[in-house]
Amino acid sequence: MDYDVKDLNLAKQGRLRIEWAEKNMPVLRLIRARFTKEKPLRGVRVGCCLHVTTETANLMETLKAGGAELRLCASNPLSTQDDSAAALVTDTKIGVFAVRGEDNKTYYKHIASVLANNPQITIDDGADLVSALHGNGNGGAAAGVWAGLEETTTGVIRLRAMAQQGVLRFPVIAINDSQTKHMFDNRYGTGQSTVDGILRATNHLMAGSKVVICGYGWCGRGVASRARGMGAEVIVCEVEPIKALEALMDGFRVMPMAQAVREGDVFVTLTGNLGIIRQEHFLKMKDGAVIANSGHFNVEIDLDALDQMSSKRRLVRRDVEEYTLKDGKRIHILGEGRLINLAAAEGHPAMVMDMSFANQALGVEYIVKNRGKLPLGVHALPERIDREIARLKLKSMGVKIDTLTSAQKKYLAEWTMGT
């Protein structure tokens, strides 16, 4: 079996952490139990490019229980948990190609190793696998793909652009479009783990700090509400008037970045866009400003510009790089501007990844069942699967809800009844 991980001796520690996550993934456990019996994925080759974490390990073990043949590489050079990667190789016998801190060349070599197994289904977090499949020389491999699945907002944006330009060669399921994914993973998962990453990197006191949230989408809303919960004064920067209005009525101050940079102590970018914090912004920041990114790619902070403006650069803590500008002002970049929740913390808690990865597991089964029937393009999973995941999650949490009475159902389907 081919693999490339840091150190197989880390497997024991990885196994303990994978088991810890498993305890908080009851929906995925139910799916795994059924997959073990029914083997709905028998012999299906699945190529995965995901953050190699304990939660992903649980997804891999669920797909394997269903009979899938797997290969896994990282969807970010800094997000790999080397112990989880080692445990997947030693105990689960999955070909993992991921080493935390790998350089760009190795990152793409690892993607190529996953593609070398000619996947019939792809699972991406950011669309790097699908994008590589559409690159030069991979046309043959793309032709063998039944369909793909995409985990995150940025990946879905890239795939929709490919579909619109008519270059996408197979159907893709946008897992991020499931309500049981973005409403929980992006909001509460990113919300909590981004704050966790910032705190682990800096040991900063949130209470009394001015925290600037750039982008008030699902992720931004989550970080803003968690930061406020810890006593921070939150400022929001947006480009969409409706989102800006929502932030305002949620009780946050809203202003352009040019103004926010004069006030902020901590900045977090979560836009999925590039160049959010640039040269003109660094120039106006306070001494000691802390900047983190939790959007998918490391393009939201213009680090090249910051580097050019700086006279000195040094690592002052594990995930904190201090840039000293020519006027002596210091700016701190966390986790090299990469996803801070994965670079400096452990990513989303298992309890929320349970729902995201239940969507992935059932999505793979859905593709197998509907092989050849899905039209080209980017689609959401059927709503019945989304609702079923929510139902199972509530059940696992011991929460019961009401059901509509027949009179209520009739009333809701009626238009002639008034007061």
Parallel, antiparallel, or unpaired: how do β-strands 330-334 and 320-325 relate?
Answer: antiparallel
Min dist CB 316 to ligand NAI, Å, is 23
**Residues sharing a CB contact under 8 Å with residue 315, sequence separation 6 or more, in sequence order:** 321, 322
255-284 positions binding ligand NAI, by CB under 6 A: 270-273, 276
**Is residue 90 part of the contact set for ligand NAI (CB under 6 A)?**
no
Min dist CB 25 to ligand NAI, Å, is 17
Min dist CB 236 to ligand NAI, Å, is 9
Tokens of 290: 């802390």
User: Is the four-CA dihedral 392, 83, 152, 94 of positive or negative sign?
Assistant: negative
Of 47, 66, 191, 217, which lies in the binding site for ligand NAI, with binding defined by CB under 6 A? Answer: 217
Min dist CB 352 to ligand NAI, Å, is 10
Stretch that binds ligand NAI, among 115-123, 134-142, 151-159, 303-311 (CB under 6 A): 151-159
Closer residue to ligand NAI in complex, CB, 120/294: 294
Closer residue to ligand NAI in complex, CB, 95/295: 295
Q: Is 133 exposed, middle or buried (0-12, 13-18, 19+ CB in 10 A)?
A: buried
Write the binding mask 166 to 195 for ligand NAI: x where contact by CB under 6 A, - elsewhere: ----------------x---x---x-----
∠150-155-159 over CA atoms, to 5°?
A: 90
312-371 positions binding ligand NAI, by CB under 6 A: 339, 341
Min dist CB 44 to ligand NAI, Å, is 26
CA distance 416 to 419: 10
Cβ 350 vs Cβ 192: under 8 Å? no
Min dist CB 89 to ligand NAI, Å, is 24
Stretch that binds ligand NAI, among 290-298, 318-326, 372-380, 410-418 (CB under 6 A): 290-298
**Is residue 152 part of the contact set for ligand NAI (CB under 6 A)?**
yes
Q: Is 414 exposed, middle or buried (0-12, 13-18, 19+ CB in 10 A)?
A: exposed
Stretch that binds ligand NAI, among 13-21, 53-61, 146-154, 393-401 (CB under 6 A): 146-154
Stretch that binds ligand NAI, among 202-210, 213-221, 281-289, 396-404 (CB under 6 A): 213-221
**Is residue 153 part of the contact set for ligand NAI (CB under 6 A)?**
yes
∠315-321-327 over CA atoms, to 5°?
A: 105
CA distance 73 to 90: 16
CA distance 147 to 125: 15
Residue number of the CB atom closest to ligand NAI: 217
Count of residues engaged in binding ligand NAI, rule: CB under 6 A = 28
User: Is the four-CA dihedral 127, 129, 133, 136 of positive or negative sign?
Assistant: positive
CA distance 293 to 154: 14
Nearest by Cα to 295 from 341, 357, 247: 341
Min dist CB 131 to ligand NAI, Å, is 14
DSSP track, 44-75: -EEEEEE--SHHHHHHHHHHHHTT-EEEEEES
CA distance 76 to 51: 6
231-250 positions binding ligand NAI, by CB under 6 A: 237-240, 243
Min dist CB 331 to ligand NAI, Å, is 19
Q: Which residues bind ligand NAI (CB under 6 A)?
A: 152-154, 182, 186, 190, 214-220, 237-240, 243, 270-273, 276, 294-296, 339, 341
